[in-house]
Structure 1
Amino acid sequence: NNEGFFVEEIFKGSDKKYTKALGAIQELENWDKATDFIEKNVFSTNDVDMTSEVAVDFTDRLQSYFDEYKT
């Protein structure tokens, strides 16, 4: 389970920020909107390199969610 790793590496240890971001992402209607949100409100806000291993893993998991539940 990478949830703890995501919280530490992307959200600077804040479970609250992680939960809030996931809730907002799940409300978005498609992957394009989710990608914009993640870039601006998750990676940029938390000064995370979008090409880092943790960022790519986080994005891949969310894309899988959208592929399964939102298409």
Structure 2
Amino acid sequence: MSTSQPDSPAPSDDTVTPDALLHIGSNGEVTAEDLVLAAGRDITPANLAWAERKLKEEGPAALDKLLP
């Protein structure tokens, strides 16, 4: 029976994850709800109003600024 060793090193992988796979970008339609949730806020009328203003001012880039 094989057991894992907690002190054994993880397999070495010398490749780097491409940047495009690390960031999602806003390729689709961004809603106020998306922006509120990405900001870590609860969906309330006040937060939705905030998100709608941000989307109106910044467009989909508002979401890109919140997400990696």
TM-score (structure 1 length as normaliser): 0.29
TM-score (structure 2 length as normaliser): 0.30
Larger radius of gyration: 2
